[in-house]
Amino acid sequence: MDSTPKLNFPPINLRATLDNGRRVVFDEVRKMYVVLTPEEWVRRHLVAFLVNHCGAMLRSIVEEYPVNLNSMAQRADVVVMNNEAQPTLLAECKAPDINLNNKHTLSEVFAQATRYNAVVKARYVVITNGINHYCYENTPNGYKPMAAFPKLG
């Protein structure tokens, strides 16, 4: 992974190969090889972190989770289901070069994630570019910032 940026996640091992000149990695959630885009690099790290450090079960994770917004098909990057098969965490992954320290950019991504979550109704929302992570709890009084990733297990 020579051209992939260092992320603010623990290192992971990926099964990677070249396919028609494109680097692809095995996605253990979807059980298939996917093109290694910058966003996919972040997603692979986030999924590993949710499983290895937050207690999520791999089988409880759904990628590209369908979200119907005003009759338009959208997709949430990662959704973690609870034991009752209800969404408990929704995550929006951005490429590492998307500056989430920029308040305007973070506000736009937060608005996107919370629009999705208005449909999904997960307890937690995570926004990450692999370098900066923002975690929120969806409460009756609105989204409350969290100091760390939630425990899911």
Structure tokens at 17: 């190969």
Domain parsing of the chain, residue ranges: 16-146
% of the chain surpassing 90 pLDDT: 93
Contact by Cβ (8 Å): 79, 89 = yes
What pLDDT, on the 0 to 100 scale, is given for residue 1? 43
Q: Where does 16-146 sit in CATH, by number?
A: 3.90.1570.30
Q: Is the dihedral of CA 90, 130, 1, 53 positive or negative?
A: negative
- What is the tens place of the pLDDT at every residue in 48-90? 999 999 999 999 999 999 999 888 899 999 999 999 999 999 9
- What is the tens place of the pLDDT at every residue in 120-132? 999 999 999 999 9
When pLDDT is cut at 50, 70 and 90, the band that residue 3 belongs to is low
